Amino acid sequence: MAPSRVAIYPGSFDPLTLGHVDIIERGSALFDSIIVAVLRNVEKSPLFTVDERLEMIRDTFRERGNVEADSFSGLLVDYASSRKATTIVRGIRAISDFEYEFQMALMNRRLAPAIETVFMMPAEEYSYVSSRLVKEVASLGGNVSGLLPEDVEKRLLERVRRKPMEG
Ligand SMILES: Nc1ncnc2c1ncn2[C@@H]1O[C@H](COP(=O)(O)OP(=O)(O)OP(=O)(O)O)[C@@H](O)[C@H]1O
Ligand SMILES: [Mg+2]
């Protein structure tokens, strides 16, 4: 039997958007399994804790047997090796994503030549969606329906109502 093809989809997912969901679904169709890996990044000040973000991902993909949510810190390639993943999945929204993603992919290749990075494009309607923008709009009272899974939208609205974003 061929070894199973495991992909890692890393990010902050603060919170999960339908853009992320789109990429995860494409990845889940392409690979035997896909691990959505939440980066434990001490520098950023997130709106949701890592555990809350993991819970939202798990709830959203309850019925997809080959989608797993996990968290990691340190080098992505070390985490990928520890999970026996052969592929890193990233989403590309616009040219603006390209430069940073290109640098990261080549640096990761240098660190771990056996791990391949694969880029996927979301459906057009999600090609401008980012967690940051969705949080900003929600905190200013704008309508974000259709951009997030329903449960995530509920939690986001609760959170920004209780804790308006600063700045
Ligand atoms: N709407 C989207 N379509 C396609 N790929 C996306 C989309 N949003 C995020 N991604 C990709 O998902 C991965 C993880 O991204 P990340 O967690 O930074 O999300 P983000 O929405 O960009 O959040 P933030 O606004 O906090 O940077 C990256 O590869 C990013 O390019
Ligand atoms: Mg981003």
Q: Is residue 130 in contact with ligand 1, taking CB distance under 6 Å?
A: yes
Query: Hey, which of 17, 18, 22, 23 would you mutate to test ligand 1's pocket, going by the most ligand atoms within 8 Å of its Cβ?
Result: 23
- The CA 93 to ligand 1 mean position distance, Å, reads 8
**Average pLDDT in the chain:** 94
Q: Is residue 14 in contact with ligand 1, taking CB distance under 6 Å?
A: yes
For the segment 23-47, the average pLDDT, to the nearest whole number, is: 93
- The CA 32 to ligand 1 mean position distance, Å, reads 22
Nearest CA to ligand 1 atom 12: 91
pLDDT tier, 94 (very low <50, low <70, confident <90, very high otherwise): confident
Catalytic residue list: 20, 44, 93, 131
Which residue bears the tokens 């080959």?
66
Tens digits of residue pLDDT in 117-143: 999 999 999 999 999 999 999 999 999
**pLDDT, position 167:** 54
For the segment 38-50, the average pLDDT, to the nearest whole number, is: 89
Q: Is residue 5 in contact with ligand 1, taking CB distance under 6 Å?
A: no
For the segment 37-57, the average pLDDT, to the nearest whole number, is: 92
pLDDT higher than threshold 80 for residue 1: no
Q: Is residue 48 in contact with ligand 1, taking CB distance under 6 Å?
A: no
Tens digits of residue pLDDT in 62-86: 999 999 999 999 999 999 999 999 9
Alpha carbon distance 154, 32 (integer Å): 31
Which pTM was predicted?
Answer: 0.94
Task: Name the residue among 87, 84, 136, 129 with its Cα closest to residue 108.
Answer: 87
Alpha carbon distance 35, 108 (integer Å): 17
**pLDDT, position 96:** 84
